[in-house]
A and B are shown apart, each in its own frame.
Chain A
Amino acid sequence: MSSIQDIQNEIIEEFEILGEDKESTIYYIMELGGQLPKFPEEERVDENIIKGCQSKVWLATRENGDKIQYLADSNTDITKGLISLLIRVLSGRTPQEILKADLDFIDKIGMGNIIGSQRSNGLSAMIKQMKLYALAYQAKQNV
């Protein structure tokens, strides 16, 4: 399996191909959002809503041996696209990998310019929540 860094580099390359055109970048992000696996309805509960996001984002996890599987959904297509990128990078990894991951692809693809500062805060909240889950899993494994 490719490393977290490999996947990040793949994403950076994909966005480089899109170039400077904001419109096509947004269409691409929305398309990615459309490819997110269906979110289980039983997980669509208030406890799974990420606080700090302007749009609604639900995040849930599944244990897969020593790895974490992330499941997510949002009520906006752009946010769905953003979270699908995070899932692509972090899902199916061990808590240790997730916790030490430096997600430099976000800056490198110029996400701040694409989504604006308010949504960037939301993106940080998503990453924080994903890492918190990893921390909880790690603590559980160590017991």
Chain B
Amino acid sequence: MSLNIEEIRAMFPVLHQEVNGKPLIYFDNAATTQKPQSVLDSLTGYYEKDNSNIHRGAHTLADRATRYYEETREGVKNFINANESAEVIFTKGTTESINLVASSYGRKFITKGDEIIISTLEHHSNIVPWQMLCEEKEATLKIIPINDRGEILLEEFENLLSDKTKFVSIVHVSNALGTINPVKKIIKKAHQVGAMVLLDGAQSTNHLDIDVQDLDCDFLAFSAHKLYGPTGLGILYGKRSLLEIMPPYQGGGEMIKEVTFAKTTYNEIPFKFEAGTPNIADVIAFQKALDFISFIGKSNIKKHEDELLDHANEAFGQIKGFVPVGTAAEKVSVVSFNINGMHPFDVGVMLDANGIAVRTGHHCTQPLMQRLGLEGTVRASFSVYNTKSEIDQMALSLAKIAKIKNK
């Protein structure tokens, strides 16, 4: 099936505007994707018709809101093929999902002398929580190196594994470079030494088919807002056997079974990890984003994005002074680059003057930038509603910008 991109674009109101006198070209999708009208309607519809606090309410509205909220949990379960919806926990984002695991699982099961493995490609949100845990527990953080193309060195990873390895937390797709990591192999190897694995799926869940049972990851963290859904909502998937033995992350309402001043007993999963009134409206609206994805079809989305990536590589590659950063064999639709002699900020500001939204800087991956010997990059990331003609437009602007220093 060939996608009708114009029909898809019509579903996204934000795309139809001018920025600095030029039609908006939105290429900052790895930071956050735009939201279809169905998601926006669901958000306002919830507040107009259903707003009510969920669970325990004895009235119709509370019942309705609860049902919709739990339907999204079921939707997420299907989206990642979890074994059951109780393994799906709503958080406020990928960052909180990772922190939850580091705090709860980490505090209980990581001890002095243990080793935790991450990679050079990690976002700060998959570095700092583990550094904090290691510092507290006197554990050691080990880093999987990469090659110059931005690919993880699997052999080096295997060398790092030992009976001391208790946890591996690895990014599925690099936000800065777009590299797709061979996570199935990594998970298998980690399990062979008895280590648990968390997958940072912030940048993979929107591009790749995710089957947590097939991958056999122990945890998966991702965000709704990179999946055409609302901001402020994240998901943590965890295997039941692990979630059940983990202590609560935060205390409060919703997460308890019974409270007395002497002792509190905790609720079952997933509620044990959802203290307080959750982000009800955004959870409910997220189902519409999942519906959008399944309506278009992930494989169709991937095929279109791959075509855009090929087209961009070819179009940008002809520009004098264009230096691609991250040239892994397996990539999602992200083009990270620099222009010879120019700072990425300057390139970003000049693209913005042409109505083109890209991200510039270190992309919250300072250790990766240090490894690559760069201060930062310009990153263009494509989504299902982007077109080849938008890429051509960016190539024209970029050629003009690059000419300043590359005559």
A joins B in a complex: yes
14-57 of chain B: CB within 8 A of chain A: 20-21
B353 touches A77 (CB 8 A): no
A78 touches B375 (CB 8 A): no
Instruction: Give min CB distance, A12 to chain B, whole Å.
Output: 20
Instruction: Give min CB distance, B399 to chain A, whole Å.
Output: 14
Q: What residues of A have a CB within 8 angstroms of the CB of B354 in the complex?
A: 23
335-377 of chain B: CB within 8 A of chain A: 342-343, 345-346, 349-350, 352-354, 361, 375
A23 touches B350 (CB 8 A): yes
B375 touches A75 (CB 8 A): yes
Check A55/B345 contact, CB under 8 A, given A21-B21, A22-B20: yes
A30 within 8 A of B: yes
Instruction: Give min CB distance, B121 to chain A, whole Å.
Output: 23
Q: DSSP class of A's interface residues: helix, strand, loop or mixed?
A: helix
In the bound assembly, the distance between CA atoms of A23 and B349 in angstroms comes to 9
Instruction: Give min CB distance, A23 to chain B, whole Å.
Output: 4
B353 touches A23 (CB 8 A): yes
Q: What residues of A have a CB within 8 angstroms of the CB of B20 in the complex?
A: 22-23
Q: What residues of B have a CB within 8 angstroms of the CB of A21 in the complex?
A: 21
In the bound assembly, the distance between CA atoms of A23 and B361 in angstroms comes to 21
In the bound assembly, the distance between CA atoms of A75 and B338 in angstroms comes to 14
B404 within 8 A of A: yes
Check A76/B350 contact, CB under 8 A, given A21-B21, A22-B20, A30-B404: no
Of the candidates B346, B353, B361, the one whose C-beta lies within 8 Å of that of A22 is B353
Q: What residues of A have a CB within 8 angstroms of the CB of B346 in the complex?
A: 30, 76-78
Q: What residues of A have a CB within 8 angstroms of the CB of B352 in the complex?
A: 22
Nearest CB to that of B350 among chain A residues? A26
Seen from chain B, the residues whose Cβ lies within 8 Å of a Cβ on chain A are: 20-21, 342-343, 345-346, 349-350, 352-354, 361, 375, 404
A-B contact pairs, 20 of them (CB 8 A): A21-B21, A22-B21, A22-B352, A23-B20, A23-B353, A26-B350, A27-B404, A30-B404, A54-B345, A54-B361, A75-B343, A76-B343, A76-B346, A77-B343, A77-B346, A78-B343, A78-B345, A78-B349, A115-B349, A119-B345
**Lowest 6 CB-CB distances: which A-B pairs, in order?**
A76-B343, A23-B353, A22-B353, A22-B20, A78-B346, A76-B345
